[in-house]
Structure 1
Amino acid sequence: MTLLLQWIEHYGLAAVFLNVLLEQAGLPLPAYPTLVVAGSVADAGRLSTPLLVLVSVAAALTADLGWYYAGRRHGQKLMALLCRISLSPDSCIRQTRNLFNRWGPHALLAAKFIPGFASLAAALAGKSGIRLPVFLLFDGIGSLLWVGSAVLLGAGFSSDIAWLLHTLEQVGTGGLLLIVVVLASYGLARWWRRRRFARSLRAQRITVEELHGLLQQQEQPLVIDVRAPELQREGRIPGALLVAGKLSRGEAAAAQLAREVIVYCACPDEASAAQVARMLMKTGVGRVRPLLGGIDAWRQAGYPVEAD
């Protein structure tokens, strides 16, 4: 009998509540496998299925409410923090914002099925000013769908889950430890590559004062705005080339012809700018520099912006 099954059978619903709460709070402790195993245990009559669902949904809502109020109170600062600690730079935040712009609070219905999306979605819901009753309605339904699917999966495949748990038990602690080490090494490798590349660009960053000076010269650099389209419409550096996602062939060709390319975004450490800089370097563009502080630093310095 595996440690997970022992943990659920010994601590019951409290173990499930804690796992769901911690995962939805942002810790890397996957709760879906726990819910599936708990569903299997409930199907065997050792847990109450209605209570299992109720406790799990309550745990998810508790964590999401924390993110909701944090997003309402701290807004952009919280988004910046999430961007900074994410293994995938602010692309995840950009995708979250795009989903909200398209679907509104309905995006909460699917948030928990997308890795890394749930906490961002709850925080963005608070930042966007979605009313609490509306948030609770859609987030509650989304949580119920997420929990219910796991519990039903556990109940429907209880015999297969029992076989899987027995197989894992036969693998032993050493085998499980090896799996954990492999997954941890993968995450660490991604983090290290991102950090090493960010360091290599950090020495090359250009300040807003330097960029403003270059824009006054006859031979101006090519400035590329890589923020989400809705943010670009709020205002951009005059003359900036607007790029959403990957560069087109025409945009890449324009960058290759430019004497110097300046890339900016609105994320700490210029994460998106660094990604685009990497893509440009791979296409042969030699002089690429991220803008230190991005558009926020440009605005704070009092320099002009243009909008549609």
Structure 2
Amino acid sequence: MDLLTDLFSHYGLVAVALAVLLEQLGAPLPSTPVLLLAGVASAERDGFAVQSFLVATLAALLANGLWFWAGRRLGRRVLATLCRISISPDSCVRQNEASFARRGVLTLVIAKFVPGLSILAPPLAGALGMPARRFLGWNLLGSALWAGVSVAAGRVFHAQIDALLNVLSRLGSLALAGAGIVVLVYLGWRLWRRALVRRELTRFERLGPAEALALRDGRGDIVFVDVRACSPEMPLASRIPGARHLDLGALGDTALAGWPPAGEFITYCACPNDASAVRAAQWLKAQGRQARVLRGGIEAWTQAGLALENS
């Protein structure tokens, strides 16, 4: 405890600021342990808990504000970039969009407590057109709640955390090796799962925008299916003409009520590797329907200069 207290007496606030800033900017370095340690150190230093809370909140606001601005300026391109460096790149946008669709602005309050949601929520809010003032207010609430809970947990359980640190210190290199093995096994499993998902996605049949348009013009039973997440607070601005919307968060017996009983569906989304569109097409096939995927989604359709309509 003495070493920890001495360390945080000199560099504590700097460590908190850098850890939070780097994590919220996208570095794979969790900052919650640093906030817990700040809470532990605060047991010996009056006012340090409040200082750590304020520094962590401000650092998170700065990083999140930069990502919100990037999402507003660059749209889904910044989301695709973030997802490519994610361990689960093909589902991260869909999961975050679904969270916004279900919870709206409350997503910003819970984002930092949900792995994978923290880094994507600010740029997604910008890409979806959330007003800046509204984003700042709800993000401030979420950042303060996360920082406060983390520092408070360290303060409340400082004795237990200190005892654990002493045990790890006595174990020395054995504890470090064990932790390294656990991390490597976890990363290996996630990367293996990523490879399986990517292989499944690439095998699914796709149509280019021109092919899909020609097929629809040549037949009368082609239905485009938009599977992008939306909500009353964040509606979709435009869609492929005549497209129906399918909510991936509410798939069930009534999801296709009122839809054509026959014909072929072409699903599309706005996510890396058409992940959401493939999932929807797989579900439609499981319901006995014919389904293929629009390669490149709504962005490829737009880049091809094809018509859109207001949603």
Instruction: Confirm or deny a common fold (TM above 0.5).
Output: yes
Residue equivalent to 1:208: 209
Residue equivalent to 2:108: 108
Helix, strand or coil for the counterpart of 1:216?
Answer: helix
Within a 5 Å distance, the mapping from 1:93-242 to structure 2 comes to 93-98=96-101, 102-103=104-105, 107-127=107-127, 128=129, 130-131=131-132, 135-169=135-169, 170=171, 172-201=175-204, 204-218=205-219, 220-230=221-231, 234-242=237-245
Distance in structure 1 (CA, Å) of the matches to 2:290 and 2:239 = 22
Question: Does residue 1:301 correspond to 2:304, yes or no?
Answer: yes
- Structure 2 counterpart of 1:249, one-letter code: D
Contact 1:71 1:125 in 2 (8 A): yes
Residue equivalent to 1:264: 268
Consecutive unaligned residues in structure 1, runs of 5 or more: none
Residue equivalent to 1:66: 66
Question: Does residue 1:57 correspond to 2:57, yes or no?
Answer: yes
Please report how far the alpha carbon of residue 302 of structure 1 lies from its aligned counterpart in structure 2 after TM superposition.
4.2
Contact 2:4 2:41 in 1 (8 A): no
- Structure 2 counterpart of 1:189, one-letter code: W
Please report how far the alpha carbon of residue 174 of structure 1 lies from its aligned counterpart in structure 2 after TM superposition.
1.9
Residue equivalent to 1:92: 95
CA pair 151-89 structure 1, distance change in 2 beyond 3 A: closer
Could you tell me the TM-score, scaled by structure 2's length?
0.80
Residue equivalent to 1:244: 247
Which is worse superposed, 296-305 or 178-187? 296-305
Contact 1:83 1:89 in 2 (8 A): yes
1:25-69 Cα deviation digits (max 9, x unpaired) = 112211112211221122133982232222222221221222122
Consecutive unaligned residues in structure 2, runs of 5 or more: none
Distance in structure 1 (CA, Å) of the matches to 2:155 and 2:55 = 17
CA pair 219-136 structure 1, distance change in 2 beyond 3 A: closer
CA pair 286-144 structure 1, distance change in 2 beyond 3 A: closer
Which is worse superposed, 52-61 or 8-17? 8-17
Instruction: Report the identity percentage.
Output: 37
Say which of 268, 275, 281 aligns to 2:279.
275
Which is worse superposed, 172-181 or 161-170? 161-170
CA pair 85-279 structure 1, distance change in 2 beyond 3 A: farther
Distance in structure 1 (CA, Å) of the matches to 2:51 and 2:236 = 48
Which is worse superposed, 41-50 or 24-33? 41-50
Distance in structure 2 (CA, Å) of the matches to 1:7 and 1:194 = 44
Contact 1:4 1:34 in 2 (8 A): no
Please report how far the alpha carbon of residue 80 of structure 1 lies from its aligned counterpart in structure 2 after TM superposition.
3.5
1:221-243 Cα deviation digits (max 9, x unpaired) = 44322112458753433443421
Contact 1:236 1:307 in 2 (8 A): yes
Contact 1:224 1:243 in 2 (8 A): yes
- Structure 1 counterpart of 2:197, one-letter code: R
Distance in structure 2 (CA, Å) of the matches to 1:278 and 1:6 = 57
Residue equivalent to 2:78: 78
Distance in structure 1 (CA, Å) of the matches to 2:252 and 2:289 = 18
CA pair 4-214 structure 1, distance change in 2 beyond 3 A: farther
CA pair 222-138 structure 1, distance change in 2 beyond 3 A: closer
Helix, strand or coil for the counterpart of 2:119?
Answer: helix
Residue equivalent to 2:293: 290
CA pair 40-224 structure 1, distance change in 2 beyond 3 A: same
Distance in structure 2 (CA, Å) of the matches to 1:206 and 1:10 = 60
Helix, strand or coil for the counterpart of 1:248?
Answer: coil
Contact 1:266 1:295 in 2 (8 A): yes
**Number of matched pairs:** 300
Distance in structure 2 (CA, Å) of the matches to 1:205 and 1:279 = 15
